Structure 1
Amino acid sequence: MSHMWTFQRVGGLDQVVFNSSDDIINLADLDPKLWVALSCPTTGLNFDERTLALLDVDQDGRIRIPDILDAISWTKDKVLSFDKILQSSDILPLTQIDTATKSGQKLLVTAHSILANLNKNQQDFLTQDDVQQAIKINAGKLYNGDLIFPPAPELSATMQTFIQSAIKVIGAEKDMSGQAGINLDIATTFVNNLQTWQQWQTDISKTETPFGDNRAEIWKLVQILKPKIDDYFLRIELAQYAPQAQTALNVDEKYIVPTENGLLSDDALAELPLSKIDTNSTLDLVNGLNPLWKDKVSQFKSLVASSLANPDQLSQAEWQHIQTSLQAYTKLINSKPEMAKIKVTIAPTASIADLPAPLIASLTDKQLLNEFQHMVEQDNQTPISAADVLVLEKLVLFHKHLYRLLVNFTSFADFFSLENTAAFQLGKLYIDGRCATLCVAVDNIAKHSTLANYSELCLLYCECTRHGQKQLIAAAITAGQGDLLIEGRNGVFIDTEGNDWDANVVKIISKPISIQQAVWAPYQRIGRLITEQINKWASSKDANIEKSSAQVIQNPENKFDIGKSVGVFAAIGLAIGAIGTALATIFQAIFSLTWWQFPLVIIGLFLIISGPSVILAWLKLRRRTLGPLLEASGWAINGQVKINLLLGGLLTSKAELPPNAKRNLRDPMRKRSRKPLIAFILAILIGIGIAGGWLWHKGYFNQYLEPQKQQQISNNTNTQK
């Protein structure tokens, strides 16, 4: 490889940097393993939809590396330089069109024709809007160069019928206006199929049978009745062979007994023999027939009566003769020709058999196909050809969006730039005083969350609604805390076009969000645990009081007996004593420390409580990656694409006051009371008590207490004497 590439290490990956047009032109030589993405879906992206549709040539809903390389190669043949593409310019200068080839010269002529139709003769460039206006103007014309004709009112009634019939039988394509129409390929296939069908019908009509014009109807009845008549004659042969089995060969009574609703089941009756089984070798076509088959047998009798010795009886030999007489007809019917099919955008809704025979005869007129061919030739000579306009549209769109596609596919430069929005970022979710900018599209929450869970990101799955429209997103929360992030909370989602959607959290994948959350998480858990235990204790005591009160009211003799409660009071006293002893031990250990040891104890306690939580959170935060999140949305990513703490803090912003804002801490809604003063005084007293205890423990008061102790000892001695 002679080309010198530049790579930048971002997100744990080496990502290619596009510094010049040569980098784009030589992209086919770059190892696919060095591309950040291998494929992506054409939906759920913050990208021009029309450009994605043009890139997806095979229309499989995905963009792959070959699609992008084909787009680069196609664009390279149409322009003189790729320098403007690096700028993602909205305009395509006409001087950029390569006129060295006939196709390039034709594109330039078409571009000037478009500008002339738009009264922009002095303009020397094209924009996407110019091309869209040209397409819209041409779409309303019958001869617009798209070589597709809908059944427009400008056409003759016969031609309209021809086009409508072809659409029903073969299918249709959409013209520039979006209407269903046919091209020359569809028209030719339609006429050829009509001629094949017509020849087949002619051959059928020439087939000799003893039944004349009734052969088609008789053939259909034979196909319907054949299983039942064959079954009847087989049962007759068995009855003649074994007369004792005649009863079993007939109808069992249980099949003709009404069901619970009082009705007979048609399905059950249809499975019974066609007529009563006896030793008579003919089928009575009038009497004793199964009610469900009687009408068809009567119709069959009226059509074949001339071929029967007895019009009311059908022998097995006559039945075989009728089938033999129709063998040639049956063979021709079963040799129905295969109709040609072509690939169309709009599928057919009918078959040639649904068209009346007179209509088929009129549509096979060669004059109609010749007239349609003349229309196509005239449309092909339109000064502004639809095909050329579409080529210009593709060139303008690739000129504008190709570079942005590369920095969102080959690399994720837009995502890591922190100034632009990546193609997979659909907007911003505002919730709980935060703004999450990493919001991706979701089709199925259950399926998406299974894979996205491996991203180690805290994800909020939201159902967004706006004016009857609905979409699902997954928003990554990468800063702040998650205490108030619960299912059912509402927020607002702002898409990239500035539209606001009502967002409702329907599912949460809980993961560590930040170091701050990890620091306070143990204390919050302890606080919740204490609160829950107090609530349980208070609830149980309240229930016991209610129960005791109810017992006293129901039985006044149950009075309070202090003798029985002595043990309870003793237990309470022991508990209070144990608590006091424990507190005294703790305070004694604390007071035994020197002043410089107090901060170390506090820091040690903090590390013991918060340390494990912070370490675990830090390890998980380091594993946060973008790959599984995008993979769950249909991307194929080369690598993990890590999201470090810095990037995580930037992807989710918290509410902050403006730099020059002023804050008034005087809250008019706050109640004024003496509680703060009382609390302040109590705090001072507690502080004095703690300081005094510490000084007493260190012996600072011994010099004052010693004379008093000696005086007390002297007084006690005198008293004893």
Structure 2
Amino acid sequence: MTQALAHRWRFFRAGGFDQVQLETPADLAALRGLDQKLWASLACPVNNLELDRRMLEYIDLNKDGRIRAPEILDVVDWTLARLADPAVLFQPGPLQLASLTDDAEGTRLRLAAQRLLSLLGRADGDSLTPADTANLAQLFPPHEANGDGLVPASLTDDATLKAAIADIIACLGAQTDRSGEPAIGVEQIAAFFDQARQMHAWHARAAEQGLDVFGEGTVAAVEALSAVRDKIDDYFTRVAMAEFDPRAAALMNAREEELVRLASLSLADAGEVAGLPLAAVQQGDHLPLSKGLNPAWQDAIAAFRQRVVVPVFGELDSLSREQWQHLLTLCGNYLAWQAEAPKPAIAEVLSRGRILELVEQGIEARLLALVEQDKAVAEAAGGLVDLDKLIRLRHGLIELLRNFVSFQSFYARQDKAVFQAGVLYIDGKSCDLVVEVGDVEAHAKVAAASDCFLLYCACTRRGQPVRGKEALNIVVAVTAGSEGDLQAGRHGLFYDRDGNDWDATVVKVVQNAISLREAFWSPYRRVSKLVSDQVQKLAASRDADVVNKAAAKVGETGAAPAATPAPAFDIAKFAGIFAAIGLAVGALGTALAAVVTGILSLVWWQIPLLFLCVLLAISGPAMLLAWFKLRRRSLGPILDGNGWAVNAQARISIPFGTELTQMAVLPKGSDRALRDPYANKPVVWPWIIALLLALGLGYYAWSNGAFSPEPEVPAEAAAPVQGAAQ
């Protein structure tokens, strides 16, 4: 794509790159010819933008939650084709009907606008605002078709269809109809009945195989058959053995010894009898179902007869081997059929009977007919939809372009950019570069490349939701001032774009340079903190030693130990200690004197340069590193972490950073009392010691002739020396 040569573009430079200015309808008309390498961004998410959400949904044609450059170009062309004077896009105010074109499309929009004005009670009106189309239920009543292909329950008076729509929504969720009501579409209807037909086909196979003979008692019948299956198989096997060999007939029945043993026992407990055959083999190949049965199995056989035999064969007093095999086959087929049972998601919400009922009543065809009925008015309803789209683009298109094609709104500092969520007040600062984020950790991985000092805050607004949310996460760039006490756990106050206040708590900090002033003092702060920490550790250890020794003495029990004679004073030992201390003080004094002597030997104007060089040697590396990082600060990674496709450097320079983060400043003309009655009183003795030390070093230097001018050598005395040297 190449830039159109017929149009003369205007660019401004900000953020380290050239950005296009969109100021006239001609700029919009030529936008398709502008090389996209010159665009500030190529894509952005629909979420977390301070723009009309419905307008963004109109632009997002493929409904993927993102807006890309081709969609921007298409919506610009669409808007220009429907406005007779596109200059109104750059002007505030409502959409005037006179601004519409005179072609067929403009006439259709004008008729839709007149119908809407009549509906609003302003039949003689000539303009519309986004507020006029905010209530979609007023534009598209829920009980009337609106052409979007979605059917809410209120669209029909048929109670059966109403219940079916409610069931489908309960199983698969709802879409939002143009009226704002929960509704279903073709996709949901097809998905629901695909699952329902699987369940219905499975039940149809049971009817074909005769597995439904037991009806609702099928499970109980299978359980009753399973309870006696082994015992009945055992009986028919014993009968077959007796038929095989007559000698086995007596052996297949209970042995006489076992019967004698049982006769001597109490048979109130049937457990002893349960191990005997189910019936005597003399009964033949017909198992008795009432008389002649083992007493321990009479109840189980009675349940088997009532639940299994009667539904299939009717009232029988005995069961043949063939009938028993038929029942086993029927039971096996049922278990195999049960194992093939489908498990559709809708079965977790609706009963099996309700699903079968919906299929058998032909509800799917009736719902699809209702969808077609709604789509039949699509052309007529489309006029209102396009009108609503044009009204919202008339108010928000230019703002979107100035935050997408260029970052003009962000760098002009007249209005907030669409990605700026509000202002955070914390640690005596107000930070304007605030972006709402979803996943803090995922965003931080990308945004760390911005080289900005970032605060991630969790914001809450309990009991007072805004746009349905009581909690959100933000990332804040601190671009001026000092780090101070900015750390995880600090609290602040966040004001969103609508002025709502949120409690903000820092949950993550990405450390980077904030300013050169902060970098200059950072080495001294680190050294001071190191010394302070070491002194505190030393004091804490000494205090712990004292406490431990005191506790040990208090804990001692028993008789007091015999007094230990005090050791004799060792003069040699203390003389050595005093000598070592003297040498150390002397060495320190000599070193300090040498430093002072060296400083005093300089010319007066060299002394400030010396101190300046020392400061630069200490603070210079930190400042140099901070300077490089501050020059690399970029908006791009902060937005990329939110799903943007930033197409430029978008630098945040040091001067611009001071605009994004404001420090606390007293109002002009305020009276200020400089005396703090509760301030810490100044400690004088360290200054006295320092003064005495300076005086002592000065005296030492003076006594060694450091302040005496070097004697001038007379010319007469210097001549012989020069001659001797020659």
Question: When the two structures are superposed, what TM-score results if normalisation uses the length of structure 1?
Answer: 0.73
1:20 to 21, 24, 30: 24
Q: Within the alignment, does 1:63 sit opposite 2:67 as a pair?
A: yes
User: Is the Cα–Cα contact under 8 Å of residues 196 and 355 in structure 2 kept in the other structure?
Assistant: no
Unaligned ranges ≥5, structure 1: 241-274, 340-345, 704-721
User: Is the Cα–Cα contact under 8 Å of residues 462 and 503 in structure 1 kept in the other structure?
Assistant: yes
Question: Residues 669, 361 of structure 1: CA spacing in aligned structure 2 closer, same or farther, 3 A cutoff?
Answer: closer
2:182 is matched with which residue? 180
- Give 2:397's aligned amino acid: L
CA positional deviation for 1:453: 1.1
User: Is the Cα–Cα contact under 8 Å of residues 308 and 314 in structure 1 kept in the other structure?
Assistant: no
CA positional deviation for 1:201: 11
1:42 to 41, 46, 54: 46
Question: Residues 622, 684 of structure 1: CA spacing in aligned structure 2 closer, same or farther, 3 A cutoff?
Answer: same
Q: Within the alignment, does 1:585 sit opposite 2:594 as a pair?
A: yes
User: Is the Cα–Cα contact under 8 Å of residues 15 and 34 in structure 1 kept in the other structure?
Assistant: yes
1:612 is matched with which residue? 621
Q: Within the alignment, does 1:625 sit opposite 2:634 as a pair?
A: yes
- Give 2:405's aligned amino acid: T
2:442 is matched with which residue? 447
User: Is the Cα–Cα contact under 8 Å of residues 146 and 386 in structure 1 kept in the other structure?
Assistant: yes
User: Is the Cα–Cα contact under 8 Å of residues 446 and 638 in structure 2 kept in the other structure?
Assistant: yes
Deviations 1:481-540 (A, max 9, x none): 113112111111111111111111111111111000111111111212222232233334
Question: When the two structures are superposed, what TM-score results if normalisation uses the length of structure 2?
Answer: 0.72
CA positional deviation for 1:6: 3.2
Instruction: Give the fraction of aligned pairs with identical amino acids, expressed as a percent.
Output: 31
CA positional deviation for 1:638: 1.6
Distance 2:333 2:462 in 1: 68
2:258 is matched with which residue? none
1:532 is matched with which residue? 533
Distance 1:70 1:294 in 2: 79
Deviations 1:562-603 (A, max 9, x none): 428625444444433332232222222222222222112111
1:415 is matched with which residue? 410
Alignment of 1:215-254 (within 5 A): none
Q: Within the alignment, does 1:53 sit opposite 2:57 as a pair?
A: yes
1:93 is matched with which residue? 96
Alignment of 1:191-270 (within 5 A): 214=213
User: Is the Cα–Cα contact under 8 Å of residues 193 and 359 in structure 2 kept in the other structure?
Assistant: no
User: Is the Cα–Cα contact under 8 Å of residues 11 and 21 in structure 2 kept in the other structure?
Assistant: yes
Q: Within the alignment, does 1:594 sit opposite 2:589 as a pair?
A: no
Distance 1:537 1:198 in 2: 78
User: Is the Cα–Cα contact under 8 Å of residues 142 and 181 in structure 2 kept in the other structure?
Assistant: no
CA positional deviation for 1:130: 1.7
2:80 is matched with which residue? 76
Alignment of 1:700-711 (within 5 A): none
1:661 is matched with which residue? 670
- Give 1:557's aligned amino acid: T
User: Is the Cα–Cα contact under 8 Å of residues 114 and 123 in structure 2 kept in the other structure?
Assistant: yes
Helix, strand or coil for the counterpart of 1:640?
Answer: coil
Deviations 1:62-94 (A, max 9, x none): 11222222222322332223222233x341111
Helix, strand or coil for the counterpart of 2:534?
Answer: helix
Distance 1:615 1:547 in 2: 49
Over aligned residues, Cα RMSD in angstroms?
5.4
Helix, strand or coil for the counterpart of 2:643?
Answer: coil
1:248 is matched with which residue? none
Helix, strand or coil for the counterpart of 2:61?
Answer: coil
Helix, strand or coil for the counterpart of 2:458?
Answer: strand
- Give 1:120's aligned amino acid: R
Q: Within the alignment, does 1:634 sit opposite 2:643 as a pair?
A: yes
1:708 is matched with which residue? none
* Bigger mean CA offset, 562-571 vs 628-637: 562-571
Distance 1:702 1:14 in 2: 64
- Give 2:10's aligned amino acid: T
CA positional deviation for 1:59: 2.3
1:168 is matched with which residue? 167
Helix, strand or coil for the counterpart of 2:400?
Answer: helix
- Give 2:106's aligned amino acid: G
1:243 is matched with which residue? none
- Give 1:536's aligned amino acid: K
2:467 is matched with which residue? none
2:426 to 418, 428, 431: 431
Question: Residues 316, 540 of structure 1: CA spacing in aligned structure 2 closer, same or farther, 3 A cutoff?
Answer: same
Question: Residues 638, 227 of structure 1: CA spacing in aligned structure 2 closer, same or farther, 3 A cutoff?
Answer: farther
Question: Residues 317, 458 of structure 1: CA spacing in aligned structure 2 closer, same or farther, 3 A cutoff?
Answer: same
Question: Residues 92, 33 of structure 1: CA spacing in aligned structure 2 closer, same or farther, 3 A cutoff?
Answer: same
Question: Residues 360, 483 of structure 1: CA spacing in aligned structure 2 closer, same or farther, 3 A cutoff?
Answer: closer
Question: Residues 197, 641 of structure 1: CA spacing in aligned structure 2 closer, same or farther, 3 A cutoff?
Answer: closer
Distance 2:115 2:675 in 1: 70
Unaligned ranges ≥5, structure 2: 241-276, 279-283, 464-469, 711-726
2:482 is matched with which residue? 481
CA positional deviation for 1:296: 9.0
User: Is the Cα–Cα contact under 8 Å of residues 458 and 505 in structure 2 kept in the other structure?
Assistant: yes
User: Is the Cα–Cα contact under 8 Å of residues 56 and 62 in structure 1 kept in the other structure?
Assistant: yes
Helix, strand or coil for the counterpart of 1:504?
Answer: strand
1:499 is matched with which residue? 500
User: Is the Cα–Cα contact under 8 Å of residues 194 and 360 in structure 1 kept in the other structure?
Assistant: no
User: Is the Cα–Cα contact under 8 Å of residues 460 and 503 in structure 2 kept in the other structure?
Assistant: yes
1:405 to 383, 400, 403: 400
Question: Residues 150, 579 of structure 1: CA spacing in aligned structure 2 closer, same or farther, 3 A cutoff?
Answer: same
* Bigger mean CA offset, 570-579 vs 435-444: 570-579
2:564 is matched with which residue? 557
